[in-house]
Amino acid sequence: MQRVKALDELTPADLWREVPENEEEFWQDTREKHLLLVKGLVEGVLEEEMTVLLAAGRYRRVEDRRGYRHGVYERDPGPGEPGDP
């Protein structure tokens, strides 16, 4: 079993071994990480904006709530119970 070097024992050559040799593989990995970072940033901003607009955090019950996150509608009870004429 190989011994794992401590961080203060690593040389630049050790670090360069971790970089993919294939340039396309390097950029694919970079793109995936970039997309995850942007997705997290956008979702965080939207969540904060929704909290401010509604004046209530997610799953919070407050008197000052200005709306709901996924919409609300009134149900139409219809003509009566199923089977009634």
Distance CA 48, CA 45 (A): 5
Residues 47-68: tens digit of each pLDDT? 999 999 999 988 888 888 888 8
pLDDT at 42 over 90: yes
Residue type, 32: E
Contacting residues for 38 by C-beta, under 8 A, at least 6 apart: none
Contacting residues for 19 by C-beta, under 8 A, at least 6 apart: 26
Q: Global pTM?
A: 0.54
pLDDT at 72 over 80: no
Distance CA 64, CA 66 (A): 6
Domain definitions of the chain by residue range: 40-67
Distance CA 36, CA 54 (A): 27
